[in-house]
Amino acid sequence: MSLSLDDIKRVANLACIEVSETEAATALIQLSGIFGLIEQMQAVDTSAIEPMSHAQDVVQRLRDDTVTESDQRELFQSIAPKTEAGLYLVPKVIE
């Protein structure tokens, strides 16, 4: 597998990270090296093996659908970049 500069830009866009041309070029070199390491995985036949997503064989705990948290809006919004009237402010998204 070989990565292209377009792959880097596409992935950066998916990840919502702005990259300059220079950064993309550096990332291409470094990620190619890292994928060189990762490619070793492909040498193993794993067709009969179940994927392991988690270290412990446990089922997801569920809780009752009840309110457990108290309202701390003011505290939480005190560290937000921009708020107004209890709302988080972002640039206009609907014209």
Partner 1 sequence: MRQHGFGIHPPLFYDLSRLANAMLNSSLKQLSTLLAAKKISSVELTGEFLKRVKALNPDYNAFITIDEKISLAQAQTADAMIASGQAQPLTGIPIAQKDIFCTKGWLTTCGSKMLSNFVSPYDAGVIERFNAAGAVNIGKTNMDEFAMGSSNETSFYGPVKNPWDITAVPGGSSGGSACAVAARMAPAATGTDTGGSIRQPAALCGISGIKPTYGLVSRYGMIAFASSLDQGGPMAKSAEDLALMLNVMTGFDTRDSTSLQRASEDYMRDLAKPLQGLRIGLPKEYFVAGMSADVARAVEAAITEYRRLGAETVEVSLPNTKLSIPVYYVLAPAEASSNLSRFDGVRYGHRAPEYTNLNDMYQKSRAQGFGAEVKRRILIGTYVLSHGYYDAYYIQAQKLRRLIAQDFAAAFAQCDIIMGPTTPTTAFALGEKSGNPVQMYLSDTYTIATNLAGLPGMSIPAGFGDNNRPVGLHIIGNYFTEAQMLNVAHQYQQVTDWHIRMPDKLIT
Residues that bind partner 1 (CB under 8 A): 7-8, 11-12, 14-19, 27, 30-31, 33-42, 44, 46, 49-56, 58, 60-61, 63, 72, 75-76, 78-82, 88, 90-93
Cβ 47 to partner 1 shortest distance, Å: 9
Cβ 39 to partner 1 shortest distance, Å: 8
* Partner residues linked to 88 by β-bridges: 83
- Within its chain, how far is the Cα of 22 from the centroid? 23
HEC letters along 6-59: HHHHHHHHHCCCCCCHHHHHHHHHHHHHHHHHHHHHHHCCCCCCCCCCCCCCCC
Q: Which is nearer to partner 1, 41 or 67 (CB)?
A: 41
Cβ 2 to partner 1 shortest distance, Å: 13
